[in-house]
Structure 1
Amino acid sequence: MSNHEPFYAAKCVFRHHQHEPNDGKKYVYEDRIILIHADSMDDAIEKAEKEANEYADLGTEYLEYVNVFHLFDYILHHGSEVYSETRSSDLEPEEYIDHFHDSGAEHCKKYT
Protein backbone atom coordinates (compact mmCIF):
# COMPACT_ATOMS: atom_id res chain seq x y z
CA MET A 1 0.00 0.00 0.00
CA SER A 2 1.32 3.43 -0.87
CA ASN A 3 -0.36 5.40 1.93
CA HIS A 4 -0.53 5.08 5.71
CA GLU A 5 -4.32 5.03 5.90
CA PRO A 6 -5.30 2.42 3.32
CA PHE A 7 -8.94 2.08 4.35
CA TYR A 8 -11.95 3.72 2.76
CA ALA A 9 -15.65 3.64 3.53
CA ALA A 10 -17.76 3.21 0.43
CA LYS A 11 -21.48 3.96 0.27
CA CYS A 12 -23.38 2.32 -2.57
CA VAL A 13 -27.10 2.65 -3.26
CA PHE A 14 -29.37 -0.28 -4.11
CA ARG A 15 -33.04 -0.81 -4.92
CA HIS A 16 -34.98 -3.81 -3.70
CA HIS A 17 -38.24 -4.85 -5.34
CA GLN A 18 -40.97 -5.68 -2.85
CA HIS A 19 -43.34 -8.56 -3.52
CA GLU A 20 -45.79 -7.08 -1.03
CA PRO A 21 -45.43 -3.28 -0.98
CA ASN A 22 -44.86 -1.79 2.46
CA ASP A 23 -47.02 1.27 3.14
CA GLY A 24 -48.01 1.31 -0.52
CA LYS A 25 -44.42 1.85 -1.68
CA LYS A 26 -43.15 -0.11 -4.65
CA TYR A 27 -39.43 -0.16 -3.77
CA VAL A 28 -37.06 -0.19 -0.82
CA TYR A 29 -33.81 1.70 -1.32
CA GLU A 30 -30.70 0.76 0.61
CA ASP A 31 -27.64 2.88 1.36
CA ARG A 32 -24.95 0.31 2.15
CA ILE A 33 -21.60 1.35 3.62
CA ILE A 34 -18.66 -1.06 3.61
CA LEU A 35 -14.95 -0.84 4.42
CA ILE A 36 -12.52 -1.10 1.51
CA HIS A 37 -8.76 -1.70 1.71
CA ALA A 38 -7.22 0.11 -1.28
CA ASP A 39 -4.14 1.92 -2.58
CA SER A 40 -6.00 5.05 -3.69
CA MET A 41 -9.42 6.65 -4.04
CA ASP A 42 -9.73 5.32 -7.61
CA ASP A 43 -8.77 1.83 -6.45
CA ALA A 44 -11.35 2.06 -3.65
CA ILE A 45 -14.08 3.07 -6.11
CA GLU A 46 -13.20 0.17 -8.40
CA LYS A 47 -13.25 -2.32 -5.53
CA ALA A 48 -16.48 -0.89 -4.11
CA GLU A 49 -18.24 -1.18 -7.46
CA LYS A 50 -17.04 -4.77 -7.86
CA GLU A 51 -18.37 -5.64 -4.40
CA ALA A 52 -21.65 -3.77 -5.11
CA ASN A 53 -22.21 -5.81 -8.25
CA GLU A 54 -21.56 -9.03 -6.32
CA TYR A 55 -24.04 -7.92 -3.63
CA ALA A 56 -26.61 -7.06 -6.31
CA ASP A 57 -26.29 -10.60 -7.69
CA LEU A 58 -27.91 -11.76 -4.44
CA GLY A 59 -31.23 -10.26 -5.57
CA THR A 60 -31.12 -6.48 -5.58
CA GLU A 61 -30.32 -3.77 -8.11
CA TYR A 62 -27.13 -1.70 -7.85
CA LEU A 63 -28.00 1.86 -8.92
CA GLU A 64 -24.44 2.65 -10.07
CA TYR A 65 -23.95 5.17 -7.25
CA VAL A 66 -20.82 4.99 -5.13
CA ASN A 67 -19.45 7.61 -2.73
CA VAL A 68 -16.05 6.90 -1.15
CA PHE A 69 -14.61 8.43 2.03
CA HIS A 70 -10.93 8.06 2.97
CA LEU A 71 -10.58 6.88 6.58
CA PHE A 72 -7.99 8.92 8.41
CA ASP A 73 -7.62 6.76 11.52
CA TYR A 74 -4.91 4.19 10.87
CA ILE A 75 -6.16 1.95 13.68
CA LEU A 76 -9.92 1.66 13.92
CA HIS A 77 -11.30 1.93 17.44
CA HIS A 78 -14.46 2.90 19.30
CA GLY A 79 -15.48 6.30 17.97
CA SER A 80 -13.52 6.06 14.72
CA GLU A 81 -15.16 8.04 11.95
CA VAL A 82 -16.00 5.53 9.23
CA TYR A 83 -18.05 7.72 6.91
CA SER A 84 -18.79 11.39 6.35
CA GLU A 85 -20.76 13.11 3.63
CA THR A 86 -21.30 16.84 3.40
CA ARG A 87 -23.94 18.60 1.33
CA SER A 88 -24.81 22.27 0.72
CA SER A 89 -28.48 23.17 1.15
CA ASP A 90 -30.81 26.12 1.66
CA LEU A 91 -33.09 23.96 3.84
CA GLU A 92 -33.53 24.77 7.52
CA PRO A 93 -32.40 22.00 9.94
CA GLU A 94 -35.80 20.32 10.45
CA GLU A 95 -36.60 20.43 6.72
CA TYR A 96 -33.16 19.08 5.90
CA ILE A 97 -33.52 16.11 8.28
CA ASP A 98 -37.04 15.38 7.01
CA HIS A 99 -35.97 15.55 3.35
CA PHE A 100 -32.72 13.59 3.46
CA HIS A 101 -32.85 11.42 6.58
CA ASP A 102 -36.29 11.09 8.14
CA SER A 103 -38.93 10.94 5.46
CA GLY A 104 -40.90 8.39 7.47
CA ALA A 105 -40.16 5.55 5.07
CA GLU A 106 -36.87 4.40 6.64
CA HIS A 107 -36.52 0.78 7.74
CA CYS A 108 -34.32 1.42 10.76
CA LYS A 109 -34.49 2.41 14.38
CA LYS A 110 -33.69 6.02 14.97
CA TYR A 111 -33.44 8.20 18.02
CA THR A 112 -35.11 11.61 17.93
Structure 2
Amino acid sequence: MERLNENVSFDKKVDEGEMFLLFKHSSTCPISQAAYEEYSTFANENEIVKTYYLIVQEDRPLSNHIAEKFQIKHESPQAILFKNSEPVWHASHWKITVDSLKKAIEENE
Protein backbone atom coordinates (compact mmCIF):
# COMPACT_ATOMS: atom_id res chain seq x y z
CA MET A 1 0.00 0.00 0.00
CA GLU A 2 1.52 3.27 -1.13
CA ARG A 3 0.54 6.82 -0.21
CA LEU A 4 -0.28 9.28 -2.96
CA ASN A 5 -0.28 12.95 -2.09
CA GLU A 6 0.23 14.87 -5.34
CA ASN A 7 -2.07 15.42 -8.31
CA VAL A 8 0.74 14.65 -10.76
CA SER A 9 1.56 11.24 -9.25
CA PHE A 10 -2.13 10.33 -9.07
CA ASP A 11 -2.78 11.42 -12.67
CA LYS A 12 0.20 9.35 -13.79
CA LYS A 13 -1.28 6.24 -12.14
CA VAL A 14 -4.64 6.90 -13.79
CA ASP A 15 -3.05 7.50 -17.20
CA GLU A 16 -1.26 4.14 -17.02
CA GLY A 17 -4.71 2.54 -17.33
CA GLU A 18 -4.03 -0.32 -14.94
CA MET A 19 -6.56 -1.37 -12.34
CA PHE A 20 -5.87 0.06 -8.88
CA LEU A 21 -7.63 0.97 -5.66
CA LEU A 22 -7.44 4.30 -3.87
CA PHE A 23 -8.56 4.86 -0.30
CA LYS A 24 -9.38 8.31 1.06
CA HIS A 25 -8.63 8.20 4.77
CA SER A 26 -9.58 10.66 7.49
CA SER A 27 -7.03 10.46 10.28
CA THR A 28 -9.51 11.83 12.82
CA CYS A 29 -12.56 9.66 12.15
CA PRO A 30 -13.20 6.33 13.93
CA ILE A 31 -15.31 5.07 11.01
CA SER A 32 -12.43 5.84 8.67
CA GLN A 33 -10.04 4.01 10.97
CA ALA A 34 -12.22 0.90 10.82
CA ALA A 35 -12.43 1.13 7.02
CA TYR A 36 -8.65 1.70 6.85
CA GLU A 37 -8.12 -1.54 8.77
CA GLU A 38 -10.35 -3.40 6.30
CA TYR A 39 -8.53 -1.79 3.35
CA SER A 40 -5.14 -2.56 4.86
CA THR A 41 -6.10 -6.20 5.45
CA PHE A 42 -7.27 -6.44 1.85
CA ALA A 43 -4.08 -4.78 0.58
CA ASN A 44 -1.89 -7.22 2.52
CA GLU A 45 -3.78 -10.26 1.18
CA ASN A 46 -4.24 -8.95 -2.36
CA GLU A 47 -1.84 -9.77 -5.17
CA ILE A 48 -4.06 -8.65 -8.02
CA VAL A 49 -4.27 -4.86 -7.89
CA LYS A 50 -2.08 -2.08 -6.60
CA THR A 51 -3.43 -0.22 -3.58
CA TYR A 52 -2.93 3.42 -2.71
CA TYR A 53 -4.25 5.81 -0.10
CA LEU A 54 -4.33 9.48 0.78
CA ILE A 55 -5.00 11.28 4.05
CA VAL A 56 -7.69 13.87 3.46
CA GLN A 57 -6.51 16.30 6.13
CA GLU A 58 -3.01 16.43 4.65
CA ASP A 59 -3.79 15.76 0.99
CA ARG A 60 -6.89 17.91 0.52
CA PRO A 61 -5.83 19.30 -2.90
CA LEU A 62 -5.50 15.75 -4.28
CA SER A 63 -8.76 14.64 -2.68
CA ASN A 64 -10.55 17.61 -4.25
CA HIS A 65 -8.82 16.99 -7.60
CA ILE A 66 -10.14 13.41 -7.70
CA ALA A 67 -13.68 14.47 -6.78
CA GLU A 68 -13.72 17.18 -9.45
CA LYS A 69 -11.98 15.23 -12.21
CA PHE A 70 -14.22 12.17 -11.92
CA GLN A 71 -17.41 13.76 -10.56
CA ILE A 72 -17.42 11.48 -7.52
CA LYS A 73 -18.75 13.25 -4.46
CA HIS A 74 -16.00 13.36 -1.83
CA GLU A 75 -16.57 11.20 1.22
CA SER A 76 -14.19 9.86 3.80
CA PRO A 77 -13.59 7.14 4.20
CA GLN A 78 -13.96 6.31 0.54
CA ALA A 79 -12.55 3.58 -1.69
CA ILE A 80 -12.42 3.98 -5.47
CA LEU A 81 -11.49 1.31 -7.99
CA PHE A 82 -9.95 2.58 -11.23
CA LYS A 83 -9.69 0.58 -14.45
CA ASN A 84 -8.75 1.78 -17.93
CA SER A 85 -8.20 5.28 -16.52
CA GLU A 86 -11.75 5.58 -15.17
CA PRO A 87 -13.45 4.89 -11.83
CA VAL A 88 -15.52 1.70 -12.12
CA TRP A 89 -16.62 1.29 -8.49
CA HIS A 90 -16.62 3.26 -5.27
CA ALA A 91 -17.91 2.86 -1.74
CA SER A 92 -17.77 4.76 1.51
CA HIS A 93 -18.01 4.35 5.24
CA TRP A 94 -19.16 0.94 6.50
CA LYS A 95 -19.47 -0.39 2.94
CA ILE A 96 -15.66 -0.63 2.75
CA THR A 97 -14.88 -4.18 3.81
CA VAL A 98 -12.42 -6.85 2.73
CA ASP A 99 -15.32 -8.70 1.09
CA SER A 100 -16.67 -5.64 -0.76
CA LEU A 101 -13.19 -4.84 -2.07
CA LYS A 102 -12.68 -8.44 -3.25
CA LYS A 103 -16.09 -8.43 -4.93
CA ALA A 104 -15.37 -5.13 -6.71
CA ILE A 105 -12.13 -6.55 -8.11
CA GLU A 106 -13.79 -9.80 -9.21
CA GLU A 107 -16.62 -7.93 -10.95
CA ASN A 108 -14.20 -5.69 -12.84
CA GLU A 109 -11.45 -8.08 -13.90
Normalising by structure 1, report the TM-score: 0.20
Larger Cα Rg: Structure 1 or Structure 2? 1
Normalising by structure 2, report the TM-score: 0.20
The structure with more helix, counted as a fraction of residues: 2
The structure with more strand, counted as a fraction of residues: 1
